Chains A and B, each alone.
Chain A
Amino acid sequence: MGAFAPWFKMTLVLEAAVLGILTGGVYALMASGLTLIFGVMRIINVGQGALVILGAYLSFALFRSWHLDPLLSLVITMPLMFGIGVLLQIVFIRPLKTDREALSVLVTYALALGIEGVLGYVFTSNLVQLRAWYETASFAVFGFHITYVYVFGFLLCLAILGALFLVLYRTSFGGALRATMLNRTAAQLVGVDVDRVSAIAFGIGVATAAAGGVIFGITNAFNPGSHYDLISRLLTIIVLGGLGSLRGAIIAALVMLVTEDITAVVISPVWATFVFFVILIVVLIFRPQGLFGVRVRERI
């Protein structure tokens, strides 16, 4: 075994890397919604984790009542969550006029707590997981075993992110959205309805949370309290990628997850989560604006 040990470890590392890329896709999806919301409205949606869990529970409920396959349930949950997102934005975010950035953090945190409370009341704090026939099925590639679920999830993420990019860069709404992200006042001056754009952007962000929630729910056991761990990772990812940068969020998610999964194999699973934050600190010391962020001086 001695002569084979390095080789053995290498395959584990590679497997971990592949897994990291696949799960990174899921986190990229969830984080993209978060960074989009920040870019358009300059608010940090600390409730994104709770919304992901909400999406997971919605699919769970649909499965329990109608035996609807989780991935198929997205057809219902995504539009539903989009609507919820728009509603939340109009009722709770739009009224904030002064001190927007600070207050929105508190408001979204409050929403997260509210969601956690309601979910806990309805579903109790027992751990659950979304079931699907393909959840343990895997196929072999070059001696690695890759579970179908992760691949489906990854493909789904690619599809949704691709759709997102299409909307952003090929539609007029996308143009309005990007304009609002660059300069809210200027966008208003050229006739963009920033309120409407903001509401829809929030809705999109929440809809992506629904999609992420399904994949997350299939591959992880979760309960209402899981949103804390989730949001801490998502926030770390968008800071690393640079607040407001979609590209940054995706790359950061992949980098973080690959590093985490390799650390789990090479050192230990316990410290893998820790490495997440270590990367953040290192980046903040040398490049506080993140990978693709811009050093913003508000006015000069």
Chain B
Amino acid sequence: MSLLEIAELSKRFGGVVAVDGCSLAVADRSITGLIGPNGSGKTTVFNLVTGFLPRDRGEVRFKSRSIAGLGPDRIYGLGIGRTFQLARIFPRLTALENMLVPVRRAGLRAMLSHGQWRHERERAMEMLEFVEIAHVAGTVGGALSYGQRKLLELAAVMMAAPELVLLDEPAGGVNPALLEKIAEQIRKLNQQGVTFLLVEHNMPFVMNLCDEVVVLHQGKAIANGKPKEVRENPAVLDAYLGT
């Protein structure tokens, strides 16, 4: 069963065609990698799926429901979370406050009630412990190290229990020890039922972690399958070496 389906998705910026009839599917409960040479359109696909960019053509379906045209906040509410290429957190809020911002259901009572806070706070502290940064809960985001921000970003996104998480270069700018930690956390969350689609350039990371890999080239999906299959696919090699 495909949790996320993208069909013939297209997007151009002026004269540049960033995404050109891209079609792919993300299986439920999988860890799927999205790879491809620079400029192949990976982050643009993310932005299209999460509502940050309007699409020109094509369909995006989540749990068989079309989500094209919805704003990013609605999409998060439906259960799709995302992280950014350069880890983004709220610099003037503490780590704990960062965890309390995400909104799953924007109801009036949820917004105004203070009582609910306690329950959320407990959950937030649990998540912070899970990613092992509970000791900086009271530190403002701007004072955290980059590694801590990355972990905070992931933990915060998980607050509303999304079913699908799009990770934009989770291994980017991260030392090997932290890398292993991040991979472990992704695996653990995946075992709990979360589906991941991640964009990455770090091949060993992708090959080790992902069940499925999709290769993008010039805005189109040119191959997909198990990591080993894809690695030996001549079209893929051509794409990477040819450009």
Contacts of B86 in A (CB 8 A): 299
Point out the residues of chain B lying under 8 angstroms from A299, CB to CB: 84, 86, 88
Q: Which residue of A lies closest to B47 (CB)?
A: A300
Number of interface residues of A (CB under 8 A): 3
Interface contacts (Cβ under 8 Å), in number, total 8
A170 within 8 A of B: no
Q: Name the A residues within 8 Å of B88 (CB-CB).
A: 299
Given the complex, which residues of B lie within 8 Å of A297, measured CB to CB? Answer: 52
Please give, as numbers and ranges, the residues of chain B lying within 8 Å of A300 by CB-CB distance. Answer: 43, 47, 52-53
B interface residues, how many (CB within 8 angstroms): 7
Contact with B along A277-300 (1 / 0, CB 8 A): 000000000000000000001011
Q: Name the distance in Å between B160's Cβ and chain A's nearest Cβ.
A: 21
Secondary structure at the B interface, as helix, strand, loop or mixed, is loop
Report the separation of the CA atoms of residues A300 and B177 in the bound assembly, to the nearest whole angstrom.
Answer: 28
Residues A247-300 near B (CB distance < 8 A): 297, 299-300
Main secondary structure of the interface of A (DSSP, over half): loop
- Distance between B45 CB and nearest chain A CB, rounded to angstroms: 12
**CB interface residues, A 65-103, toward B, < 8 Å:** none
Q: What are the interface flags for B74-109 relative to A under an 8 Å C-beta threshold, 1 for contact and 0 otherwise?
A: 000000000010101000000000000000000000
Q: Give Cα A299 to B43, complex, Å.
A: 12
Contact partners of B47 in chain A: CB under 8 A: 300
Distance in Å: Cβ of A296 to nearest Cβ of chain B? 13
With a cutoff of 8 Å between Cβ atoms, the chain A residues found around residue B84 in the complex are 299
CB nearest to B86 among chain A residues: A299
Who on chain B is nearest to A297 by CB? B52
> Shortest CB–CB separation between residue B167 and chain A, in angstroms?
16
> Roughly how many angstroms separate A299 CA and B88 CA in the complex, as a whole number?
10
Minimum Cβ distance to chain A for residue B123 (Å): 29
Question: Closest approach, in angstroms, between the C-beta of B43 and any C-beta of chain A?
Answer: 8
Interface residues of B in 187-202 (CB under 8 A from A): none
Instruction: Tell me the smallest distance from the CB of B113 to a CB of chain A, in Å.
Output: 31
Instruction: Report how far A299 CA is from B84 CA in the complex, Å.
Output: 10
A289 CA to B86 CA, complexed, in Å: 27
From 151 to 201 in chain A, residues with beta carbon under 8 angstroms from any chain B beta carbon are: none
For the complex, what is the distance from the CA of A131 to the CA of B111, rounded to whole Å? Answer: 63
Cβ < 8 Å to A, chain B residues 7-60:
43, 47, 52-53
Bound CA–CA A216/B84 (angstroms): 50
Measured CB to CB, the closest approach of chain B to A98, in angstroms, equals: 11
State in angstroms the CA–CA spacing of A297 and B13 once bound together: 14
Q: In angstroms, how far is the closest chain B Cβ from the Cβ of A295? A: 10
Rounded to whole Å, the gap between the CB of A99 and the closest CB of chain B is 11
Nearest Cβ on chain B to A293's Cβ, whole angstroms: 15
Tell me the chain A residues, 94-141 only, with Cβ under 8 Å from chain B. Answer: none
Query: Could you say which residues of chain A place their CB within 8 Å of the CB of B52?
Result: 297, 300
Nearest CB of B to A102, in Å: 14
Give A299 to B52 CA distance when docked, in angstroms: 11
Measured in the bound complex, the distance between the Cα atoms of B180 and A8 in whole Å is 83
Q: Report the Cα distance A300→B53, complex, angstroms.
A: 9
Contact with A along B53-74 (1 / 0, CB 8 A): 1000000000000000000000
Q: How far is the CA of A266 from the CA of B53 in the complex (A)?
A: 44
Query: With a CB–CB cut-off of 8 A, which chain A residues contact B43?
Result: 300
> How far is B88's CA from A297's CA once the two chains are assembled, in angstroms?
15
Tell me the minimal C-beta distance from B89 to chain A in angstroms.
13
8 contacting pairs across A/B (C-beta < 8 A): A297-B52, A299-B84, A299-B86, A299-B88, A300-B43, A300-B47, A300-B52, A300-B53
**Apart from A299-B88, A300-B43: 6 A-B pairs, beta carbons within 8 A:** A297-B52, A299-B84, A299-B86, A300-B47, A300-B52, A300-B53
